[in-house]
Amino acid sequence: MLFPEYRARRLRRSDVMRRMVRETHLRVDDLIYPMFSAFGTNIKQEIPSMPGIYQQSIEHIVAEAKEVYELGIPAVILFGIPEEKDPMGKDAYSDSGIIQETIRAIKKEVPGLMVITDVCMCEYTDHGHCGVIKDGDVDNDETLKLLAAEALSHAQAGADIVAPSDMMDGRIAALRTILDENDFSHIPIMSYSVKYASAYYGPFRDAADSTPQFGDRRSYQMDPANRVEAFREAALDVDECADFLMVKPALAYLDILRDIKERFDLPLVAYNVSGEYSMVKAAAEKGWIDYDRVMMETLIGMKRAGADLIITYHAKDAAQLLKG
């Protein structure tokens, strides 16, 4: 095909033509909205580094869950801010924990909304790490026991999907075993399979009050420079019977999304993380970018790279645009 006989611009001449030949589509059904549930009542506190996102007590969480459902967004993912934290993160696996109570409230009032729960310890431990501390580092195998108990408690409370984000070795097998042994073989596991030790998480740590009190998480989260390691991590989770794979963050790791999509046939989730969200919001507030266009271009980029689903704080804004 050579110019002038072939002219690529023929297929770009009008909005209708562009829609007809569009290769990648973003749908409301592709979106998952994160929510931060805080212990107490009458709490709705905006997170300074994440405009439009709130720490909320359960009654406000339920109200927003109804709004999310009415927009057609199929699922939320829950993160908890407990009343008290301790070295073992006991609220994470308590029957009366903040997330367990939030699950029940949402499923009672918005039964058609899919509830996904983050399974990790960092929001519940007073040291801010993702598990049991031994000799200054997270003890992998002891942590698996707590993660399994947490996932089981979420399932018992009514969660539809559990999503372990801790990056402990063997956690998918540990969760699958305890769920199956307790008649929850129908509960899928959405694994944070490829989770990098990223600076893009900064605003989330404000939102979830989960900043480590010492050290960092690089002994269990992945080195941002590594690509091949991502294949090993994802393959381990597939072998341990994960139902979804995830890449986190998304924007700086679109190559990894494409790699994982090409190698594995499970549904693939991209987590459009807090720092990615906050950069777009901040630039828009400065008047430097068109918020709607940049937001949608960013999400389309994740879909084009291979994501089937996107966890994003933009979900409500995107849904409103998609619904027209």
Bond from prior residue into 87 cis (ω within 30 degrees of 0):
no
Please calculate the CA angle 29-237-313 and round it to the nearest 5 degrees. 35
Q: Is 316 among the residues known to form the active site?
A: no
Contact 89, 149 (CB under 8 A): no
Single-letter amino acid code for the residue at 195 = K
SS3 284: helix
Point out the catalytic residue in the list 66, 85, 90, 195: 195
SS3 226: coil
Which residue, chain included where needed, has tokens 């029940």? 104
* Residue 289, phi then psi, degrees to nearest 5: -140, 165
Contact 304, 268 (CB under 8 A): no
Point out the catalytic residue in the list 248, 261, 281, 303: 248
Q: Is 248 among the residues known to form the active site?
A: yes
Q: How many CA atoms lie within 13 A of 70 on its CB side?
A: 7
Q: Which pair of tokens denotes residue 141?
A: 């195998």
Which are the catalytic amino acids?
195, 248
